[in-house]
Amino acid sequence: ATGCTVNRLCKSDRKNYFYPDLPKAYQISQFDVPICENGEVFFYVDGEKRSCRLERIHFEEDAGKLLHEGNSTVVDFNRCGVPLIEMVTRPDLRSSAEAKEFLEMIKTTLSYLGICDCKMEEGSIRCDINVSIRPEGSTELGTRVEMKNVNTFSGAVRAIDYEIARQIEVVENGGTIYQETRRWDDIKGCNTVLRSKEDAQDYRYFPDPDLIAVEIDDAWMAQIESEIPE
């Protein structure tokens, strides 16, 4: 449905990290061979057709949920271990307006395919946001900052606009943008630092020794393609 290349080999990897919401200290995910690669999603902004490339779609098990109140944090493990799919975009979105229309198109597509009820308030669909800025005329993107705890599409717009303004202010005042993960607080309309952002090597990925790989045959692929609606 998103024009991806579907890999015929489907294998599981372990993503290792220590955090309170992950009790066994590793997460079943996919590293070098995701389900899908190199797709593209089309959408419209003010009547103009735009697109955003998808780098990959992979499966992953969900972690727990951290709930912050004042100076205290509690952990909800109810969704821990539940399977999900994660879609990773290329840095093609240029504004919060584009991001919102992209999210709406993803929601429409998933609903139309009948694979997700897309109830964001229940956590059926969520988004993490990565924001980076660059000087006008430059082709090199700056350091990206990830934001979590975005619970609505309108909240995503507010979070993006806030983070763009924050990064511009830091740079114009001679500061440095650090690669980190920040938590968006929609009530306060600001974000705070959660942790420094890890790179892939920090997760020490390796194939999961308990889960066998699955090979997808041509006949099943053809059947799925024939069942996709218009």
Instruction: Write the pLDDT tens digit of every residue in 39-97.
Output: 999 999 999 999 999 999 999 999 998 887 888 989 999 989 999 999 999 999 999 99
Q: Which two tokens stand for residue 147?
A: 């934001």
pLDDT the model gives residue 201: 66
Contact yes or no for 57/2 (Cβ under 8 A): yes
The residue with tokens 């879609």 is 87
In this prediction, residue 188 has a pLDDT band, given cuts at 50, 70 and 90, of: very high
C-alpha distance from residue 128 to each of 41, 145, 148, 156, 226 (Å): 17, 10, 5, 9, 32
Rg (CA), the chain: 19
Cβ–Cβ < 8 Å for 99, 93: yes
The lowest-confidence range among 121-125, 165-169, 182-186 is 121-125
φ and ψ at residue 223, rounded to 5 degrees: -65, -45
| pTM, 2 dp | 0.88
Give the bridge partners for 58, in sequence order: 86
